[in-house]
């Protein structure tokens, strides 16, 4: 946790309004309070802790708890989730499972996490995903450890550019939450470009490719 807090604070200070920095996995209200104090603009987790959701609602911070089954997803939404993280989505069929969930739950903003790759990203978007949770397919840990982060970043983000353009508009509920925050959500243009919240595995931060 201390290293993650340092990363969050450094990214917020260095990139200011160019990046939305979030934290995950946040598993209890005390951790939520800590990462918010470090500068996080949203929190996410693989499960739904109602106290975390309530705390984030009270502090007007976007919260994306995790759930997997229809019952869990609906419970998280009713608890006050701005978006529900479907995790691990790939374990139950990936895009086809997300599409099956959206049929009876069209009112709930879902974002798949776990198993999202460049190869299936379009299928997830077509299935109804409002954002994508991407980890290893976006950040090559081997290259990172070997000091090849810049080359790896350039190659991978350029490949993901088309995905950003497909993404559409931001979900309605966290447009409200960020409306009065330090980070203002830009109105999307015709091709869907805009600043979206993206978290990175471990450090709790991420960014969209620049144009």
Instruction: Note the pLDDT tens digit of each residue in 46-95.
Output: 999 999 999 999 999 999 999 999 999 999 999 999 999 999 999 999 99
Residue 188 forms part of a structural domain = no
Residue 24 forms part of a structural domain = yes
* Residues of the chain predicted below pLDDT 70: 1-2, 140-141, 143-144, 147-211
Q: Which residues pair with 6 in a beta bridge?
A: none
Residue 47 forms part of a structural domain = yes
18: DSSP letter: G
Residue 14 forms part of a structural domain = yes
Contact 164, 27 (CB under 8 A): no
Contact 168, 175 (CB under 8 A): no
Question: How many other C-beta atoms are found inside a 10 Å radius of the C-beta of residue 155?
Answer: 12
Contact 133, 66 (CB under 8 A): no
Please count the structural domains in the chain.
1
Q: Is this prediction's pTM over 0.75?
A: no
Contact 46, 25 (CB under 8 A): yes
Residue 138 forms part of a structural domain = no
Q: Give the pLDDT confidence score for residue 144 in this predicted structure.
A: 66
Alpha-carbon gap, residue 42 to 144, rounded angstroms: 25
| Token pair recorded at residue 207 | 């960014």
User: What is the secondary structure of 87-151 as a DSSP string?
Assistant: TTGGGGTTHHHHHHHHTT-TTS-EEEBSS--TTTHHHHHHHT-SS-B--TTTS-HHHHHTT-HHH
Residue 145 forms part of a structural domain = no
Domain span at residue 53 reads 1-59
Residue 10 forms part of a structural domain = yes
């Amino acid at each position: 946790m201390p290293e993650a807090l340092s990363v969050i604070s450094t990214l917020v200070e260095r990139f200011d309004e160019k990046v939305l920095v979030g934290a995950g996995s946040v598993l209890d209200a005390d951790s939520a309070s800590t990462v918010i104090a470090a500068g996080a603009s949203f929190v996410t987790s693989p499960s739904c802790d109602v106290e975390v959701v309530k705390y984030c609602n009270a502090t007007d911070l976007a919260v994306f708890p995790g759930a997997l089954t229809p019952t869990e997803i609906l419970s998280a939404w009713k608890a006050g989730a701005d978006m529900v993280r479907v995790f691990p989505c790939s374990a139950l069929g990936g895009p086809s499972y997300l599409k099956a969930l959206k049929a009876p739950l069209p009112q709930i903003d879902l974002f798949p996490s776990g198993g999202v790759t460049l190869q299936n990203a379009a299928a997830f978007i077509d299935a109804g995903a409002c954002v994508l949770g991407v980890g290893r397919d976006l950040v090559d840990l081997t290259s990172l450890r070997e000091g090849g982060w810049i080359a790896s970043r350039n190659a991978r983000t350029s490949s993901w550019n088309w995905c950003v353009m497909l993404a559409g508009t931001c979900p309605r509920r966290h447009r409200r939450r960020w409306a009065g925050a330090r980070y203002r959500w830009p109105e999307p243009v015709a091709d869907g470009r805009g600043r979206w919240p993206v978290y990175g595995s471990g450090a709790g931060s991420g960014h969209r490719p620049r144009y």
